[in-house]
Amino acid sequence: MCLFLIFAPMTVFYLNDLTPDQVVLNPDQSKHAARVLRLKQGAVLVLSDGRGAWHQGELKSVGKHCEVAIVQRHFQPPDAYEIHLAVAPTKNMNRYEWLVEKATEIGMHQLLPFFSNHSERQQLKQDRVERVVEAAAKQSLRAYLPKVAVARSFESLMNLDFEGKKFIAHCQDSPRKLLKDSYLIGSNALVLIGPEGDFSPKEVAMALDSGFEPITLGNGRYRTETAALMACHTLHLLNQ
């Protein structure tokens, strides 16, 4: 927490490999550092590998390939639990990207986009979603970048090897418990959120057969992205 405060006004750069003592920002990051942030030689910045590293770096040279020396290494331990959200892309991509941004800020660990029987949208630009994740992680100072799985079919979610509790938030009129009463604090959770037209009855039956517990998030009628965010924040809050 203290480290977050010290570095609060600074900018985070995510680089895959931070093992060397000196690293090079990619052309986009270099441009951002040099032209947008107007950083000068000697400027202090934060480097993360998105897997817990939260290092302090010093800008050694400014240009198309900015060089940064790592001056202090710090590792943030991972959360004791993981939040996996399997969410059908919404018809309107702005709503989905909004969800990705907010879930990243709050602390989602993995997003698993999937296409359901009732999905109006049957394709997703993976790189676009990943860019939203990185921007939101930067903004909210996350040492762990949420993973974005490749979009898959609903069926392939059924066979997923997952260590933790699995939930399906459907809207059908059958018994469901509140997520907050079904979740076990400290455990991993995978929550399935359907598209605008909800899951098909066949999908719900398949999920129940595959060990997913039926849940509800409250007594309102929530949009896909709202339900997904409520699920993410519920799990985050219960572990707080």
- Give the Cα-Cα-Cα angle 168, 171, 176 (nearest 5 degrees): 60
Angstrom distance (rounded) from CA 3 to CA 54: 9
Closest separation in Å from C-beta 216 to a copy of itself: 9
Q: Where are the beta strands (DSSP E) in the chain?
A: 12-14, 22-24, 44-48, 55-61, 67-72, 83-87, 110-111, 114-115, 147-148, 152-153, 165-169, 177-178, 189-193, 213-216
User: Total residues at the site for a copy of itself (CB under 8 A)?
Assistant: 31
Residue whose structure tokens are 């009129």? 173
Q: Does 173 bind a copy of itself (CB under 8 A)?
A: yes
Q: Does 162 bind a copy of itself (CB under 8 A)?
A: no
AA letter at 75: F
Closest separation in Å from C-beta 157 to a copy of itself: 25
Q: Does 142 bind a copy of itself (CB under 8 A)?
A: yes
Q: Rule CB under 8 A: choose which of 22, 41, 61, 139 binds a copy of itself.
A: 139
Nearer to a copy of itself (CB atom), residue 139 or residue 156 = 139
Q: Rule CB under 8 A: choose which of 44, 106, 160, 206 binds a copy of itself.
A: 106
Closest separation in Å from C-beta 93 to a copy of itself: 14
